[in-house]
């Protein structure tokens, strides 16, 4: 369908120091990214160094979170324009750890998505159900609600500038990947939802990453699915070798 694969490495609260961040970014920058959009998503304090390390290597940098306001009394937060000024191109919005551990609502996530687009950042909007929601049969309803709220403020043109990430919560950091069939089923559901919410062309343009224990050994099969356009990688992005192996799978998909 001509969607360019996008592989992003979400470093979460890692590594311990700016020196280690620089080392990891240097090692990724030495790899071959081929025809793949590759994004490193370090903790905000390392963004400037990581950006410097990957400059000229065809690797972009993203942030793990942002606040929707441009300025104000929001101690501890960073804004989209601050991230832009560091050379960030992407920002993750509504990761399940932000929703689950930090209590972010879908409406708040939607504000972040809209604010990110306004300053020229590409939001990576995350969605995904918990184990009990899946077992209770409400997985697609949960995902649809997260997308409805996350994309609430957008018209088709704005939505086309977003990346989505489907990350079943039960697969994150657990080693329990969704099977390629399970993942594809939800991705196809999301694509269909986008057709209904916007239009076919917009739906066919938007890239949908899969996330949740993506590793070199399972990436090829996941990325071969017609509606899986990339991966949001946590644990395996902390080693350049495994991250680049996943990038290699995307370049062959
Ligand atoms: P994981 O994390 O690859 O370690 O499961 C994925 C994510 O949370 O984005």
The domain defined by 6-252 folds into TIM Barrel (3.20.20)
* C-alpha 234 to ligand 1 mean position (Å): 4
Any residues with CB less than 8 A from the CB of 115 and at least 6 apart, and which? Answer: 66, 67, 68, 69, 70, 79, 80
Ligand 1 contact, 222 CB (< 6 A): no
The catalytic residue positions are 95, 167
Nearest to residue 60, comparing CAs of 85, 81, 39, 83? Answer: 39
pLDDT of residue 149: 98
Domain locations in the chain as residue ranges: 6-252
pTM tops 0.95: yes
Q: What is the pLDDT of residues 213-247, one digit of tens each?
A: 999 999 999 999 999 999 999 999 999 999 999 99
* C-alpha 158 to ligand 1 mean position (Å): 26
User: At which residue do the structure tokens 């977003």 appear?
Assistant: 162
Nearest to residue 165, comparing CAs of 252, 218, 82, 234? Answer: 234
Q: What is the pLDDT of residues 154-171, one digit of tens each?
A: 999 999 999 999 999 999
Ligand 1 contact, 235 CB (< 6 A): yes
């Amino acid at each position: 369908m001509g969607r360019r694969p996008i592989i992003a490495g979400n470093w979460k609260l890692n590594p311990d120091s700016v020196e280690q961040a620089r080392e990891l970014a240097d090692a990724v920058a030495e790899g071959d990214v081929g025809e793949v959009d590759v994004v490193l998503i370090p903790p905000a304090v390392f963004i400037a160094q990581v950006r410097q390390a990957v400059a000229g290597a065809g690797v972009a940098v993203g942030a793990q979170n942002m606040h929707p306001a441009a300025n104000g009394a929001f101690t501890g937060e960073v804004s989209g324009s601050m991230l832009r000024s560091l050379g960030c191109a992407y920002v993750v919005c509504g990761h399940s750890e932000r929703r689950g551990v930090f209590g972010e609502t879908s409406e708040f996530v939607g504000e972040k998505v809209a604010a990110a687009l306004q300053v020229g950042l590409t939001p990576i909007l995350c969605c995904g159900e918990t184990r009990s929601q899946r077992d209770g049969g409400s997985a697609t309803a949960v995902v649809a609600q997260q997308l409805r709220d996350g994309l609430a403020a957008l018209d088709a043109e704005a939505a086309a500038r977003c990346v989505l990430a489907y990350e079943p919560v039960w697969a994150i950091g657990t080693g329990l990947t969704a099977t390629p069939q399970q993942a594809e089923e939800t991705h196809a559901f999301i694509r269909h939802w986008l057709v209904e919410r916007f239009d076919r062309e917009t739906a066919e343009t938007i890239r949908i990453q899969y996330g949740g224990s993506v590793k070199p050994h399972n990436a090829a099969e996941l990325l071969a699915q017609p509606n899986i356009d990339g991966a949001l990688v946590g644990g395996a992005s902390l080693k350049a070798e495994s991250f680049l192996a996943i990038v290699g799978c995307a370049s062959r998909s």
